[in-house]
Amino acid sequence: MKHTNTIGEAASASGVSAKMIRHYEKIELIEAAERTNSGYRLYTPADIHTLRFIRRARNLGFSVDDISELLDLWKNDTRTSKDVRRVADGHLVALRAKAAEIHSMIDALEQLFDGCTNDERPDCPILDDLADAAKPARPKQVGHKFGFERVC
């Protein structure tokens, strides 16, 4: 008797929802699970280990494509540290780019907030700026990747 688990058990053991396990099977990130006579999917501890691998990689923000590659490397005896580095490094570069993008949004928004009264008056530099970024209300300069020179 194999030690097998239902999809619900695999889900709670791995942290991957049953929905997503079926999804990962459909997109062929994981192999199709064995089935009972009645069609229920069965998962071995090794399968659950793989699912946990996937969930951890997702937590680090890896895309499914990246994870597919990482899984291949994980199970490939001839892999090299370099191979893994390449995948992880590409992701790190993307993460840092995303972080920079978000920070420039935050910076621009914070600048707008500086001039905002936050009261009952209708005047609002935030709207003014969105309506016309060229209008010089406050000569506070901010370098911005989106080309906003004048920010609130």
Partner DNA sequence: ATAGGGCCTCCCATCATTGGAAGGTCAAGG
Partner DNA sequence: CCTTGACCTTCCAATGATGGGAGGCCCTAT
Residue showing tokens 């016309």: 132
Asked if residue 147 lies in contact with residue 108, where contact means CB atoms within 8 angstroms, the answer is no
User: CB neighbours (10 Å) of residue 108?
Assistant: 18
How many residues bind its own copies (CB under 8 A)? The answer is 55
Asked if residue 17 lies in contact with residue 11, where contact means CB atoms within 8 angstroms, the answer is yes
Q: Which is nearer to DNA, 9 or 140 (CB)?
A: 9
Of positions 1, 2, 38, 121, contacts DNA by CB under 7 A: 38
Cα→Cα distances 118→6, 7, 109, 115, 133, Å: 55, 51, 14, 9, 20
Residue showing tokens 């009952």: 120
**CA-CA distance, 127 to 116, in Å (whole number)?**
10
Does residue 121 belong to the site contacting its own copies (CB under 8 A)? yes
**Residue 56 binding target from DNA, its own copies, none, CB below 5 to 8 Å by type:** its own copies
Closest CA to 112 of 100, 96, 128: 128
Does residue 142 belong to the site contacting its own copies (CB under 8 A)? no
**Residue 31 binding target from DNA, its own copies, none, CB below 5 to 8 Å by type:** none
Q: Which stretch binds its own copies (CB under 8 A): 6-14, 16-24, 39-47, 75-83?
A: 75-83
Does residue 109 belong to the site contacting its own copies (CB under 8 A)? yes
Query: Which residues contact its own copies (rule: CB under 8 A)?
Result: 49, 52-53, 56-57, 59-61, 70, 73-74, 77-82, 84-85, 88-89, 91-92, 95-96, 98-99, 102-103, 105-106, 108-110, 112-113, 116-124, 126-127, 129-133, 146, 148, 152
